[in-house]
Structure 1
Amino acid sequence: MRKTLYIIGLSTLVFSCTSQKNVKKNTYRPKTTAAQPKTAVNSQNFEKNKPEVATEHGVEFFRTNIADITKNDNTISYGSIVSAKPAGYKVVKTHFPAVAQNFRQKYLILHYTVLPDDKSVEVLTQQSVSAHYLVNNLGDNEIYQLVDENKRSYHAGISAWRSDKNLNDTSIGIEIVNMGYKADASGMKVFQPFSDEQIKKVAALAKDIVTRYNIPATNVLAHSDIAPTRKQDPGPLFPWKKLYDEYQIGMWYDEMAKQNFLTLAQTDIETRYNEPSFIFVVQTALQKFGYDILPNGKWDDVTKKTVEALQYHFRPQNYSGVLDAETWAILQSLNQKYPTK
């Protein structure tokens, strides 16, 4: 009996293995085309053609861009190259720099000091607030640098624009000596003007910065843009349109586009102003443009201050914080011209 069972089991095992072997043998295998040889990258020629790291008084610099600026990649060193010094090892720059890099400096933020010249210098250099540059109001040709551009200055505070937050990390700050505003008897903010000499300084400085760091128009902003519930600077008397028209700095809407939106905007204001659905649409448009606001369908204080910030920048004739037809048309034209990528 045992012998019979053994023979049956052995036969079953042989049949099973044979079946698997046959299946494996007959498995369909599609034909594959011969792989095309990859083009070899001649890294030696690449390294040979790169400009050398420059050394001045023992400090190293690299001042030539070899990356693709259309991708916002940039290898230029505007300051000295900072390198590690690991104990027992030598850091070499045989393959320096890699092309896949860009600048920390993505934003340019403009402020006013609310202090006279001497006090502005004192506070911005001796206290826990700073900026990279300070533009005085002395009528001279000097601009004060207070912080290395490669370092963070403490000028933006709690801030946000589009998908970025804490803009101290990614921005250069310019402070302008100006006394800000005083409230009149009705509570209306009355702002102080900037001198022509200051605006020329700011324009020249801003042009240099945005050109060197390839900062887009959408990232040249007021402090009030990135912190609308806390800040008003540089206020409605700062000439954003002049910077846009004469120096190609920052954003501005197209007049024709604004006019195209204006008729429907007037209807919206007259017939839908207090409808939660309309308020939600306006808040969403503000958020889309870049402001840090959460749509909730209410004309609350945050929304009022955000509208006011928009008006400071793009509708300085009316900065009441109340949405009028022109402000609504301007916002829509800005979103059309500068869509979120």
Structure 2
Amino acid sequence: MPTDPATPPAQVDLLPYEARLDARSASAIDLVVIHCTELPDLAMARRFGEEVLYPGSQTGNSGHYYIDRDGALHQYVSNDRVANHTRGYNERSIGIELVNRGRYPDWLAAQHQAMDEPYTPAQVVALIALLQRLQDEVPSLRLIAGHEDLDTTEVEATDDPSVKVRRKRDPGPLFPWDRVLGAIALQRLSK
């Protein structure tokens, strides 16, 4: 794969259950979903990714790639495996997680819905470089979406059950969609 010498390759550190995730061919992939971890740091995101949440398959929630605030790129799931990151879209997509606190630690509290941590310039540069590489590696890739575009489910707020909040709001209002879309050939998909 061609790489920009200024962009280091991904540090591959596959999740312990990665081999138990369903296999797929590259031709099945047409979508990238952008997420934020909604956690304080990469170490906590890794711990959450390692948690087994699905007893039948002995797997958990995870993305394929994680981009830390300094732009460091980590791969936790191979592209030829189906990661569990967006309900209803996993089989056809690659999940990319940007380290960002989001609504942490009160994700579903009505009084804590602001997502006010900006993405770092290093994260955005690394994301664009990764998306450009993925376009070269996966010829069927043609779409991009935010998690919030695809999962619009509302749930009762944890601090006030009479209020409904969005279950997923990432990557959130501070994600630089114009800059990212201007640098890649993928089209934005919404539900």
Q: Deviations over 1:75-118 (max 9, x none)?
A: xxxxxxxxxxxxxxxxxxxxxxxxxx971111101101111221
TM-score by length of 1: 0.38
Q: Give the ranges of 4+ consecutive aligned residues of structure 1 lying more than 4 Å apart after TM superposition.
A: 182-188
1:149 to 72, 79, 82: 79
Alignment root-mean-square deviation, CA: 2.8
1:234 to 166, 171, 184: 171
Which residue is equivalent to 1:225? 149
Matches of 1:126 and 1:212 in 2, distance apart? 29
1:210 CA displacement: 2.5
Change (3 A) 1:156 1:190: closer
Matches within 5 A, 1:124-139: 124-127=49-52, 128-137=60-69, 139=70
1:107 to 31, 52, 56: 31
1:290 CA displacement: 4.5
Q: 1:136 touches 1:198 (CA, 8 Å); kept in 2?
A: yes
Change (3 A) 1:129 1:192: same
1:119 CA displacement: 0.4
Change (3 A) 1:249 1:111: farther
Larger Rg: 1
Which residue is equivalent to 2:21? none
Q: Does 1:174 align with 2:96?
A: yes
Which residue is equivalent to 1:86? none
Matches of 2:111 and 2:99 in 1, distance apart? 26
Matches within 5 A, 1:3-22: none
Matches of 2:115 and 2:31 in 1, distance apart? 28
SS of match in other structure, 2:27: coil
Matches of 1:154 and 1:200 in 2, distance apart? 25
Change (3 A) 1:190 1:169: closer
Matches of 1:223 and 1:130 in 2, distance apart? 13
Letter in 2 for 1:133: Y
Matches of 1:248 and 1:228 in 2, distance apart? 25
1:212 CA displacement: 2.3
Flag the structure with higher strand content.
2
Which residue is equivalent to 2:120? 195
SS of match in other structure, 1:234: coil
Matches of 1:187 and 1:156 in 2, distance apart? 22
Matches of 2:110 and 2:61 in 1, distance apart? 32
Matches of 2:28 and 2:151 in 1, distance apart? 20
Q: 1:132 touches 1:172 (CA, 8 Å); kept in 2?
A: yes
Q: 1:220 touches 1:249 (CA, 8 Å); kept in 2?
A: no
Q: 1:221 touches 1:250 (CA, 8 Å); kept in 2?
A: no
| Ranges in structure 1 where 5+ consecutive residues have no aligned partner | 1-62, 64-100, 158-165, 253-288, 292-341
Matches of 2:79 and 2:111 in 1, distance apart? 42
Q: Deviations over 1:112-159 (max 9, x none)?
A: 11112210112123441111111112x25x3111111111001112xx
Matches of 2:110 and 2:86 in 1, distance apart? 31
Q: 1:108 touches 1:210 (CA, 8 Å); kept in 2?
A: no
SS of match in other structure, 2:97: strand
Number of equivalent positions: 143
Matches of 2:110 and 2:46 in 1, distance apart? 32
Letter in 1 for 2:76: L
1:248 CA displacement: 2.4
